[in-house]
Amino acid sequence: MAKKSVSDASVHIDGLARLRKDLKAAGKDIDTELKRINVEMATTIISQARGNARGRMESKSAGNLKPMKSAVQGGVNLRATTGVPYALGAEFGAKQNAVRHRSTGEYHGYNQFQPWTGANTGSGHFLWPAIRQIDVLGEYTELLDNVVRDLGE
């Protein structure tokens, strides 16, 4: 049985681990196929996220998204790197006009980011909305059905 989490950001499919084990025992190369569909699903989400990005900061951050390449789980990596150190701020925003204390004085800052979206089901500016916009459960189930059908032939 497949189910979405409360945040609608992850999908857990009951029985997938058992299916993987049984197909491996039958000599089927399930891991290659699971990795392929996990990357395919992540790529779909990344494409939507890039379409959601607004402005230079969000666009560069969305351009830095990478699919996880794993047979055990799928996902999208959003990391702050040397070239895009502001990726997390671009995705989640920041509290506006927060007082910052520096050796040069006190000033209001963090306004380079959009307002903080919170840590609930409405969070994010480009990646998390993409996850909510796509029928991850339906699309992943369809990809998985196709794999199982092809391996059974």
* Cα distance between the two ends of the chain: 24
Does some domain include residue 5?
A: no
Q: In this structure, how many other beta carbons lie within 10 angstroms of the beta carbon of residue 103? A: 4
Does some domain include residue 1?
A: no
Mean of the per-residue pLDDT values of the chain: 87
Interior/surface letters 4-13, b for 16+ CB within 10 angstroms, e for the rest? eeeeeeebee
Q: pLDDT band for position 4 (50/70/90)? A: very low
Which pLDDT tens digit goes with each residue over 27-63? 888 899 999 999 999 999 999 999 999 999 999 999 9
Range of the domain at 17: 11-152
Interior/surface letters 66-89, b for 16+ CB within 10 angstroms, e for the rest? ebeeeeeebebebeeeeebeebeb
pTM of the predicted model as reported, rounded to 2 decimal places: 0.83
Does some domain include residue 131?
A: yes
Number of domains into which the chain is organized: 1
Does some domain include residue 61?
A: yes
How far is CA 135 from its chain centroid? 13
Does some domain include residue 6?
A: no
